[in-house]
Structure 1
Amino acid sequence: MSQIKGPGIFLAQFCQDDAPFNSLKNICQWSADLGYKAVQIPTWDKRLFDLELAYKSDTYCDEIKGIVTDAGMSISELSTHLQGQLVAVNPAYDQQFDAFAPDEVKNNSKARTQWAIDQVSMAAKVSQTLGLNAHASFSGALLWHTAYPWPQRPAGLVEDGFNELAKRWLPILNKFEDAGVDLCYELHPGEDLHDGVTFERFLAATDNHSRAKILYDPSHFVLQQLDYLSFIDIYHEHIKAFHVKDAEFRPNGRSGVYGGYQDWQERPGRFRSLGDGQIDFKQIFSKLTQYGYNGWAVLEWECCLKDSTDGAKEGAPFIAQHLIKTPEYAFDDFAASDIDESLNRRILGL
């Protein structure tokens, strides 16, 4: 059986202008001191990583690998969550998502989309150069504003939306195929790919592209009230990346899944630091181990109550305690016997 690697940490939520969170060298050493074995690197924050330079320069990629290795760590994946989001943006969200784009493409949706496509495409080659086999991203959304529609959706709208989404992503997916890297979409509310059904729609629209995979994060399924354990049974062949993030859902008489426009602390569904929420991680790690997931278990810290540094300190031992060392032999091997066809026939009464 394969074994899950870990613990890893997604660096995006920890980046700051102050040390040790202001450079890749400093934040890797900080992570290693906490017990992490790998970092998932956001490619939009040049305090840590320059994607364009990495695309142009193998020497720079070697320097990045050296920084991480010198800290005693590995790179689990690169992330283009923000760029992936901009591959598909409904005009209703133009103003908010322009904040993710460089100044030269703001207020120009076509230019912004092409910039995002180019960014994620570059990440395919860079991932290959760095020796990685998986990449983390978002799908973006053209249809999200119709998720709970009134008036009802016009006939063919969903099909048209997924066909357009596939049209934008297929050239990128082909780049990842050429690089030999899986493109793992984090299924997330706000994205057109946010649950199993929408992932299936996307697969169908891309003719079941072999590089379209899943970044599994159970916290987003808790907030949607989706069975996150059964999800693994159904989609385990597609899960190639894993965010370890806790959450809780506490419905009440005033609000539920939609949250009533409340801040995170007041919402029924909210993210928590590892061990503080409701997610059954023992079963998650067991199922992923059972199905042969051998990628990284990566902490993503997003908690509305606990300080990030405390969450990071608690996260490494939490993940380490849930890693399952797979057996070298079966527990009942002591009772095994060689094949004896005549004995088998006698046992069967034949």
Structure 2
Amino acid sequence: MKYFYIAPQAREILLLAASLVFFLPVYFYSFWSSGWRIHACILVVCAMGIVWAPVNFGGSTFCIFAATMCSRIPDTSKAYRALWVIAGIIIIATVSMRLETFFWVPAIIFSIPSGIGAIIGERLTRSNENLLRKQEEVEHLAALAERERIARDLHDLLGHTLSVITLKAELAGKLFDKNPAASKKEISDIEHTARQALAEVRAAVIGYRATGLLHELQSAKNALSAAAVELETEIEKVRLPAATENVLALAVREAVTNIIRHAQASICKIHLTAGNGRVELHIADNGVATHSIAANDNDGKQTLHKGSGLNGMDERVRALGGTLNIRIEQGLTLHLSVPLKEST
């Protein structure tokens, strides 16, 4: 403003140009610097204002820029470090009160709101960046969890269905010459099972289930019957939330698949009871459990080895706050206990 009513001298213009040429690199360098370099940049710019004060009171602008540069100071365990630096700039300007009033008054008045405003804006920008990164992490983890869910569900769905199709195909082959009508019925069942499996796979991909626990029990009865395994059921009538029913239905499917594939059992028992705020599912067979037992340890004790199917069952149960207990008795016994929450 001085130059509006006082013509600048050539020497002063040269010094002003030199100051700007020196100031701009220092100012922009502060955007990419860290640690002590930021403090050095702030000190240099503030010193430029003090040096210019006796010649041109507009040098207070450099002190204001120094205050805004405090926003570059990163967050550390020492809270409010940037504010302390602004306070130091104000103290320097206050000590310079012996200079022109037009210098230190703007330096003090405008440095405080400019510096604090820049700090708040910088903190807000960093918070938004952190929030975006966390959202990206959450989305990434959600995508991984969804892929794992689909993988578990497809394993349970296809493993069971392909076992049934294989069993019925073998039975149809054996009956082809002896009983063509029965063989034709088994082939028709294979077609029906394959179509049903296709529909269930499509439903699993989009995260829904078209069938419930009762339908799964009926499918288990048909599959076990084809494998010459007698099914004994005791099912208590209870209203289950959709998520709980889905987990129990998939548990029945996985257990029946393992019995058909490995157990060589003749009897399968499925009991469902509810009480004390929990629903209990008990599945047991009288076959062999060698497919679920790892090698004996040094003491001769058998240790349980859970495959991907049982692991998936355990993860789904734990996701609902329940527990899965696996015991080796006459055969393999599964006991699922899940909190029973009333559906709304």
TM-score where L is the length of structure 1: 0.21
Instruction: Between the two structures, name the one with larger relative contact order (CA 8 Å, sep ≥ 6).
Output: 1
Higher helix share: 2
* Bigger radius of gyration among the two: 2
